[in-house]
Amino acid sequence: MGVYEPGTEAEAAEIVRAAAGRGERLRLEGGGTATGLGRPAQDTATLSARKLTGVTLYEPAEMVVAARAGTPLAEVEALLAGKGQMLPFEPMDLRGLYGTAGEPTLGAVAAINNAGPRRINAGAARDSLIGVRFVNGRGEAIKSGGRVMKNVTGLDLVKLMAGAHGTLGLLTEVTFKVLPASERVATLVFSGLDDARAITALSEALGSPFELTGAAHLPAGIDAPEARTLMRLEGFSESIDYRTGELRRLLKRYGQPEIVDGAAGTALWRSVRDAAPLAEPRDAALWRISTAPTHGPALAAAVAAERDARWFFDWGGGLIWLATGAQGDAGAEAVRKAVRAQGGHATLVRAPDAVRAAVPVFEPLAEPLMRLTAGIKAAHDPNGVLNPGRMYAQV
């Protein structure tokens, strides 16, 4: 299978046009760190963005950064850190889940709408993405958005490309709004709460005026013998001292929390961000389930009633990372049944190729939505050149 590595957007466009003419199917790739995400690619060659590198715009005063899609995420984050800034949405690193090498790229962050624990406060990658350049399935170079947030009329291609998993176009450049980095980060850690009580505590904290930027619960046996409920605060040191004290008083019936900051706190949230507590064993299937936070404990328990499962909660209970055996349908029937009962949607993040080819990886769409999805795909990639079948079979 051939690998194309264009060095410019024009070269990428020519490769796609030629592939369309030959009936070639292209698997799009950034740093190659998330090759197990989505359905197995139905491709005959790879189109890589790894040579489309370099920061093309950085204006700290305007809090905006743009870079070519293959630019390593670490390079962009280091540049921002040098000016006391950061990407707001805390993108996760998938290498631990898939056992891959390479470097995560900024374009891939946009393509999969990658976001971590701070999403509850700052939104997803989509919410900070304000401009894209991409090559569609016709081999046309398209620019959408710009350097400022503004109202959009018609089809918002910037938001459409975020989370499209490369099925609509090869991103060649992305532009993000950034935020100032915090002076201090502190985490309140409550111990020994069961799932339901922990989610209640997180809901109370998130409903308070004290602005959590992380809210997670690790049940007993998930990375530690005792259950831990985590609440992160960021900002100026005096503000954190005040908010920590107020949260202690507000939540005193849940016990007295330990305060963790510095390197220990950073490592704790990196583990939550990257779903590290469920990375092993590597042959286990892994689900990412979104639901209403108060429904999270019941949904996880419903899956566990039908299959052996381990899980933890992020986003105040609204995100469940759940691992189960990869045999059979990797828990798809139990997970989908629980999601239908509680509301939400589920993505099979990791499973063997045969399982991901046999069961829906992304939440099945109602027939009208599938028609709309297929129509959008046909408009951008009429010959089915780009990541065919990556999200849904035959699309």
Whether 276-358 and 184-273 are alike in CATH topology: the answer is yes
What is d(CA 111, CA 347) in angstroms, rounded to the nearest whole number? 16
In CATH terms, the superfamily for domain 276-358 is Malonyl-CoA ACP transacylase, ACP-binding (3.30.70.250)
In CATH terms, the superfamily for domain 184-273 is ACT domain (3.30.70.260)
Query: 12: which 2 tokens?
Result: 């990428």
Inter-residue contact 64 to 178 (CB < 8 Å):
yes
What is d(CA 54, CA 66) in angstroms, rounded to the nearest whole number? 9
91 upstream amide cis, omega within 30 of 0? no
Inter-residue contact 53 to 138 (CB < 8 Å):
no
Amino acid at site 332 = A
Query: Biggest alpha carbon distance in the chain?
Result: 67
User: What does pTM read for this prediction?
Assistant: 0.95
pLDDT of residue 1: 66
pLDDT of residue 156: 86
**pLDDT digits over 120-159, tens only?**
999 999 999 999 999 999 999 999 987 655 544 556 899 9
DSSP designation for 177 = E
Strands 2-4 and 45-48: what pairing? Answer: parallel
Question: Mind listing the pLDDT tens digit of every residue in the chain (395 residues)?
Answer: 699 999 999 999 999 999 999 999 999 999 999 999 999 988 899 999 999 999 999 999 999 999 999 999 999 999 999 999 999 999 999 999 999 999 999 999 999 999 999 999 999 999 999 999 999 999 999 999 876 555 445 568 999 999 999 999 999 999 999 999 999 999 999 999 999 999 999 999 999 999 999 999 999 999 999 999 999 999 999 999 999 999 999 999 999 999 999 999 999 999 999 999 999 999 999 999 999 999 999 999 999 999 999 999 999 999 999 999 999 999 999 999 999 999 999 999 999 999 999 999 999 999 999 999 999 999 999 999 999 999 999 88
pLDDT of residue 394: 82
- Each residue of 295-315: b (16+ CB within 10 Å) or e? bbbebbebbbeebebbbbbbb
Fold exhibited by the domain 48-180? 3.30.465
Domain ranges of the chain: 48-180, 184-273, 276-358
